[in-house]
Amino acid sequence: MNTPKYKAFLFDMNGTMIDDMDYHTTAWQKVLKEELQTSLSWDEVKAQMYGKNSEVLARFFGEDRFTQEEADRLSVEKEKIYQKEYISHLRLINGLDGFLQKAAENDIKMAIATAAIMFNIDFVVDNLDLRHYFQALISADEVSKSKPHPETFLKSAEELGVNPKDCLVLEDAPKGVEAAQNAGMDCLVITTMHGHEEFSQYKNVIGFVKDYTDPMLQQLFTGQK
């Protein structure tokens, strides 16, 4: 019997499990325009779609513009807009449900390791009935430093009780791949948002897939790299 190479899969969520990044960009653009009277372009907003919501605000307005209470209010307002617009489109990236089932059948532990707040993780896992697959849910609320710092992935591995070198990260964004590299973990890239060329500097990438129907994913269950 083949033994899977990895003992745990750590999933980023947005862009990796669900293809929703355009909805986040739209929600931020609406908040920035209506609440903060800015007129940033789609591309300007999209370029900042990484990390915690408080970090997104800091990149646009500086570290000292908002109190924590103000940043939290804007964050929740943005997520409410996102959820309202996205709920009718909410679905897993093609093939992921079967992939999760196969991982569970092979006793591979799984975690969601994301810069999203728990409000959004709950929105996804409960509406799609996924909670039973995951032994750990690590949100922005559980870490002090966002990707590319490795804290999110290291905390996930710790909660699963798995050595970092035995974890495979599934990511869609360069900063997430960098965080995995900083954590000493291999990474599989889902190309929902970024092309191969954007990951050329990272040595931990084992492959690229557009979704979870790619035949190469079967190698993850046979001990092959």
- Tell me the CATH number for domain 8-19+92-221: 3.40.50.1000
- How far apart are the C-alpha atoms of 220 and 120, rounded to whole Å? 28
Task: Note the pLDDT tens digit of each residue in 66-114.
Answer: 999 999 999 999 999 999 999 999 999 999 999 999 999 999 999 999 9
Q: HSE on the CB side for 163, CA within 13 Å?
A: 4
Task: Note the pLDDT tens digit of each residue in 182-208.
Answer: 999 999 999 998 889 999 999 999 999
Task: Note the pLDDT tens digit of each residue in 33-54.
Answer: 999 999 899 999 988 888 899 9
Domain locations along the chain? 8-19+92-221, 21-88
Rama region for 124: left / alpha / beta (φ>0; ψ in -120 to 50; rest): alpha
Query: In this structure, what token pair is assigned to residue 201?
Result: 């500097």
Flag whether pLDDT at 1 surpasses 60. no
CATH fold of 21-88: DNA polymerase; domain 1 (1.10.150)
Are the CB atoms for 149 and 179 separated by under 8 Å?
Answer: yes
Q: HSE on the CB side for 182, CA within 13 Å?
A: 17
